[in-house]
Chains A and B, each alone.
Chain A
Amino acid sequence: NAGVTQTPKFRILKIGQSMTLQCAQDMNHNYMYWYRQDPGMGLKLIYYSVGAGITDKGEVPNGYNVSRSTTEDFPLRLELAAPSQTSVYFCASSYARGLGYTFGSGTRLTVV
């Protein structure tokens, strides 16, 4: 089992560029999440999904968009990259609410 797979692992963007962070899980989990972790800080929830076709905003959604067309995939879109979006992004999934999350290994994004 691959678990939660995130690509790419590293990316450098110029201000104003756009990109999609990919996340895929093979555990048939209903719930998927996107977090960002700034240097030395904890995890902040960007968006989450409780199933295919359903997404909702988390704590810090501005500047991001998501979609959930399948159970397996939950991509995160940055439309106009800004330096404030420099961070490490983690995708996670869980079978149901209240159960422990499985995290991916992260995407380290730098916006210059």
Chain B
Amino acid sequence: GQQLNQSPQSMFIQEGEDVSMNCTSSSIFNTWLWYKQDPGEGPVLLIALYKAGELTSNGRLTAQFGITRKDSFLNISASIPSDVGIYFCAGHANAGNMLTFGGGTRLMVKP
């Protein structure tokens, strides 16, 4: 089945630093999504991308849909303590009914 490789698996950064994470796939996706899971909660949708090359921002977060359709990137600028959590990428291809989720990037921010 389809697999998403998300990296890094975890990051421990200083408050104020910028963060980058990415997802790669061996197959093409038509939709890329980024979710954040706060501790003890369910994932919440941050950004949705529907077109190759698309660059979309949500506050300090910026995500890009890779031109090859096989990857996506999420950047967080000027991190703050409330950015702590697990970030999941998810992709959707034409076939099938479900999203494919990456393994998550655990972000820890030191004040």
Contact = CB atoms under 8 A, between A and B. Distances in A.
12 contacts: A42-B103, A42-B104, A43-B43, A43-B88, A48-B97, A59-B1, A101-B90, A101-B99, A103-B42, A105-B40, A105-B41, A106-B42
A58 B101 CA distance: 13
B85 interface: no
Contacts of A104: 42
Interface residues of A, number: 23
A50 B103 CA distance: 24
B30 interface: yes
Interface string A58-98: 11000000000000000000000000000000101000011
B2 to A, nearest CB: 11
A98 B92 contact: yes
Interface of A: 4, 31, 33, 40-43, 45, 48, 50, 58-59, 90, 92, 97-98, 100-106
Contacts of A45: 98
Using C-beta atoms within 8 Å of the partner chain, give the interface range for chain B.
20 to 34
B101 A31 contact: no
A33 B98 contact: yes
B97 A50 contact: yes
B97 A103 contact: no
Nearest to A4: B42
Contacts of A31: 97
Given A33-B98, A42-B88, A100 B45 contact: yes
